[in-house]
Structure 1
Amino acid sequence: MKHTTVTLVDYNPNWLKKFEYEKTSIINAIGDQILHIEHIGSTAIIGLKAKPIIDIMVGIHHLEQVSSLVQPLQDIGYEYVPKIEFKDRKFFRKGQWGQGTCHLHICEYDSSEWREKILFRNYLRNHPEFAEEYALLKTNLASEYAFDRHTYTKNKEPFIRTVLQKAKLEKDI
């Protein structure tokens, strides 16, 4: 199994420009299939340290559509990476293995997968104290698991679940 390093960098305002560029490129390639497109992940949260990888989420009607999107996305540099652990989304990577510049997640629009990614992002955007806590957690995990991205990612899950619970409760208020 290949291991990639976990490298966090300070927030870069150019990440938003990079997202906008990729968004336009994706819309030009598969726009007729897209219901919605969002910038997600840590690079979508102003001020948050992150791996310098732009996470993009595309919402479509049905996951079965993805097979027809592989070639047009490949034409603009996105490689489909089958991940059996992702039940409710499909994953594409742009850039060399372990040095990707963008991750594209395709899921059904307004599915639980979609809603949770947006809810988490918005909660951190609206609660800087949790964004700071997340940054500290990520920094500590990146230091401890610098050569094990899988464990780094897995160990963020309890925090993410906690934030999602808080966000869901707040949303009901």
Structure 2
Amino acid sequence: MPAPPHRPDVTETELIGGVEKRDLALADHDPAWADRYAEHAGRIGTALGDAAVAIAHIGSTSVPGLAAKPIIDILVTVPDITAEEDYLGPLVEAGYPLRVREPGHRMVRTPERDVHVHVFEPDHPAVTDYFLLRDRLRTDADDRALYESTKRRLIAEDWPDMNAYADAKTDVIEAIKSRARAASGL
């Protein structure tokens, strides 16, 4: 029996709580980040059960040797992003309030704002991009150094919110992903 069609997704970005000014700082890589990821992945897995297709550590804290904002980024894939009743309630109940609702993506986080959980469907292009960037940074010392130097330069600026800082890294991230695609024949 085929899966029922998805409902229409949201068409605009909703930032719950509005824009937040945050102090941003980089920390040298901490091996304990992997343990924190594992702790939260277990908590998320327990909350979601079969509703989670996959759970993975992404972002700079998932790259040994890379300085990062000490925020654990976790990628969760679900069969249907529009079926929020299958995953959003359980995540909120597990201690991850909703922060972002946008087309194809939801983001919940801890109240301490030190763990961000990004929810997508498995075939969303961002899923491939997250893994492409993470794996390239894990294996290519030159791109890891370039990314870290870019982050160090940008973190020193005054940003209205974390999204503006993230957007400023886009050109470097796209260049790294392009090299990763070329190296893997994609």
TM-score, normalised on structure 1? 0.90
Partner Cα distance (2:179, 2:101) in 1 = 29
One-letter code aligned to 1:119:
L
Runs of 4+ in 1 over 2 A off after TM superposition: 65-68, 145-151
Q: Deviations over 1:47-81 (max 9, x none)?
A: 11111010000111121123432221112210112
Q: Quote the residue 1:117 is aligned against.
A: 130
**RMSD over aligned Cα, in angstroms?**
1.6
Q: Quote the residue 1:91 is aligned against.
A: 107
Larger mean CA deviation between 131-140 and 68-77 belongs to: 68-77
Alignment check: 8 A CA contact 2:20 2:161 kept? no
The counterpart of 1:69, out of the listed 87, 112, 126, is 87
Partner Cα distance (1:12, 1:120) in 2 = 19
Q: Quote the residue 1:130 is aligned against.
A: 143
Q: Quote the residue 2:46 is aligned against.
A: 28
2:118 is the alignment partner of 1:102: no
The structure carrying a bigger helix percent of its residues is 1
Question: What percent identity do the matched residue pairs reach?
Answer: 27
TM-score, normalised on structure 2? 0.84
Alignment check: 8 A CA contact 2:98 2:108 kept? yes
Q: Quote the residue 1:161 is aligned against.
A: 174
2:58 is the alignment partner of 1:45: no
Partner Cα distance (1:4, 1:55) in 2 = 17
Larger radius of gyration: 2
Partner Cα distance (1:61, 1:126) in 2 = 30
One-letter code aligned to 1:121:
R
One-letter code aligned to 1:89:
H
Number of residue-to-residue matches in the alignment: 168
Unaligned runs of 5+ in 1: none
What secondary structure does 2:66 align onto?
A: coil
Partner Cα distance (2:170, 2:78) in 1 = 25
